[in-house]
Amino acid sequence: MAEAATTKPTRLSRWIALMAALRHHKTAYVLLFGFASGLPYALLLGTLYAWLSDAEVDVETMGVFSLIGLAYAFKFLWSPALDRVDIPGLRRLGKRKQWIVTAQLLLGAILVILSLLDPLSSLGVFSLLAGIGAFASATQDVVIDAWRVDVADEVATIDILSTVFQMGYRVAALVGGALALFMAERIGWPSVFASMGGILLFVGFLGLFAPDAERSLAAMESERANLGTLRQAGQIVPRVRAYALGAVALLWGWALFIVLDFMIASLTATPETRPDSTEFVSQMGPLIVIATVVIPGLIAGWLEAMRKRGRHVLAADAPASSGWGTALDHGYRALILPLAEIIGRLKWAAVLVIALVLTYRITDAIWGSFAYPFYLGELQYTKDEVAIASKFFGVGALIVGLALGGTLLTVIGRMTTLTLGAVIAALTNLLYADLALGGAQMQAVSDAIGFTTLIAGFGAEERMGRLMLAIAAENIAVGIAGAAFVAYLSSVVAKGYSAVQYALLSSLTMLVGTLGRPALGQMIEERGYYDVFLLTTGIGGFAVVLCVVEWVRQARSGRAENAPPPEPAI
């Protein structure tokens, strides 16, 4: 007992360990890579739309342009390949670094080239480069996440590295958001994007000197053992798995082709000949969701049912005899097996879970690309005012929301918080609806609580009060909803497939919102922002209903699991 007491870490030893971790050179590179990960996301899916708004690109076109965000929604599709494919001639940089440095240099070059283009007259090339940038950014995110795990050790622990990574990511959000807006007001957008591109090129150069780590022998042995289970007796035969994987690949490929074809046709057409966005979303949107979510889910469920029934299964162990067979196992384990596990475990409740995942964040996801056009174009705020209200004040409100969400999860429970988050996230759209009509109600609230007087002391105009309050309310709601949603997703995934299932489900949260943006842009052009905010409030109601249904399902499931066994018949 005495020996155990002496080995227990003291508060001083914990602080010493923390300081040692923060001084470690790996920590500095994690901070740098966190910044490199957050900067292109802030620029390509946020600030770029402020530039398009200044260039007088119409809102419907911006909605089509925002489809580049699908790169982040579908990044789970190519993530398994990044662990096994090397870039010719760059393998000596390291397994992870070859992808990280290449992505950073490519992103830097793209931002510099974008700075040389006029977004209005060169919209086709502009959107193509932005789409490639979004793909490179999503790829970088996948590899940096894996790199962070690989390089963690006893000093620079994964917890410390993850925390430092988030710090770098948040700093990048401020640089790519608030600082970019401040700079654009003074030196123009081309100079801003050239500067940001130069920063990423410099980060890519520094990344050449970052440490790298191969996957450990134990991890590779564990992976081989996991893959080996697919070839054991009682598992689905490789031929059937190949057909299933091929069918899913064709469905996802078709969906991506349809979206890219619509995007190219829209961005290269004149306003008179442009395809109808609302018609595309209403006709093709459901088919895309069916192709990317519903049918793959049914295929995975059918495979799991066949395995349990002993049909189309191996009679004896059949180890892979070629690289193609191993590649098939990797693809099946990465893309099909996680779905099969969820559906096999949840059964028909998986439909409810996936529907909730698809719709929960739709209210903020679907209109996020139009925030800057709304603030700058519709409401005529300056870039400095938007930077202060949206980035500095808004980020503070988001942090408050996350803290409140974490507290509510502990106090009132996960499903209560999840449902509350869905309700308030939907209702905050009504605050923006009021701003679209002039903001009389929000101004009255700002005056009544003394917020107008407070900001006047800092030299701000009274109209800043209503904008800051609306943004603060939305970000607090998003923070609460986000904290609850992360907790919910974490409770849904299985331990054996947690990373892949979480990546898949979190990617699906962006799918419906991203697909709906072109139609929303067209609606803004035709009917204005007020009707759009009423619509997004109503759309949020679907998530509320699904939360309530899921809440009831979990409550009944809990009662069934805890119910006493039936008494034996006499």
- The model's confidence at residue 10, banded by pLDDT at 50, 70 and 90, is low
Contact status, residue 210 vs residue 121, Cβ threshold 8 Å: no
Query: Of the ranges 36-50, 237-251, 423-437, 489-503, which one carries the lowest mean pLDDT score?
Result: 489-503
- What local confidence, expressed as pLDDT, does residue 88 receive? 85
Beta bridge partners of 236: 313
**Each residue's pLDDT tens digit, 473-488:** 999 998 899 888 888 8
Q: Is the pLDDT of residue 411 over 80?
A: yes
Average pLDDT of the segment spanning 377-404: 87
Residue 89, sorted as left (phi over 0), alpha (psi -120 to 50) or beta, turns out to be left
Average pLDDT of the segment spanning 272-291: 83
Contact status, residue 494 vs residue 501, Cβ threshold 8 Å: yes
* Mean confidence (pLDDT) of the chain: 83
Average pLDDT of the segment spanning 26-38: 86
- What local confidence, expressed as pLDDT, does residue 220 receive? 54
- What local confidence, expressed as pLDDT, does residue 74 receive? 77
Contact status, residue 421 vs residue 480, Cβ threshold 8 Å: yes
Q: Which amino acid is located at 150 in the chain? A: D
- What local confidence, expressed as pLDDT, does residue 278 receive? 78
- The model's confidence at residue 58, banded by pLDDT at 50, 70 and 90, is confident
- What local confidence, expressed as pLDDT, does residue 462 receive? 87
Query: Of the ranges 140-149, 330-339, 408-417, 557-566, which one carries the lowest mean pLDDT score?
Result: 557-566
- What local confidence, expressed as pLDDT, does residue 372 receive? 87
Percent of the chain beyond pLDDT 70? 87
- C-alpha gyration radius of the chain: 25
Task: Encode 81-95 in three state secondary structure.
Answer: HHCCCCCCCCHHHCC
Q: Is the pLDDT of residue 493 over 90?
A: no
Q: Is the pLDDT of residue 200 over 90?
A: yes
**Each residue's pLDDT tens digit, 213-248:** 665 555 555 556 566 778 888 888 889 999 999 998
Q: Is the pLDDT of residue 194 over 90?
A: yes
Average pLDDT of the segment spanning 91-104: 88
- What local confidence, expressed as pLDDT, does residue 142 receive? 84
Q: Is the pLDDT of residue 465 over 80?
A: yes
Determine how many CB atoms are found less than 10 A away from the CB of residue 538. Answer: 12
Query: Of the ranges 46-55, 194-203, 447-456, 498-507, which one carries the lowest mean pLDDT score?
Result: 498-507
Q: For the chain, how far is it from start to end, CA to CA, in angstroms?
A: 54
- What local confidence, expressed as pLDDT, does residue 1 receive? 43
- The sign of the torsion formed by the CA atoms of 299, 138, 474, 536 equals negative
Query: Of the ranges 98-102, 408-412, 430-434, which one carries the lowest mean pLDDT score?
Result: 408-412
Which carries the bigger pLDDT value, residue 297 or residue 160?
A: 297
- The model's confidence at residue 569, banded by pLDDT at 50, 70 and 90, is very low
- The model's confidence at residue 272, banded by pLDDT at 50, 70 and 90, is confident
- Cα-Cα-Cα-Cα torsion 371, 372, 373, 377, nearest 10 degrees, comes to 120
- The model's confidence at residue 19, banded by pLDDT at 50, 70 and 90, is low
Beta bridge partners of 296: none
Residue with tokens 């693809």, as numbered in its chain: 331
- What local confidence, expressed as pLDDT, does residue 4 receive? 46
Q: Which domains does the chain have, with CATH numbers?
A: 12-215 (1.20.1250.20), 219-346 (no CATH), 348-558 (1.20.1250.20)
Q: Which amino acid is located at 256 in the chain? A: L
**Each residue's pLDDT tens digit, 510-557:** 777 788 888 888 888 888 999 999 998 998 999 999 999 999 998 887
- The model's confidence at residue 567, banded by pLDDT at 50, 70 and 90, is very low
Give 118: exposed, middle or buried? Use CB within 10 Å, 0-12, 13-18, 19+. exposed
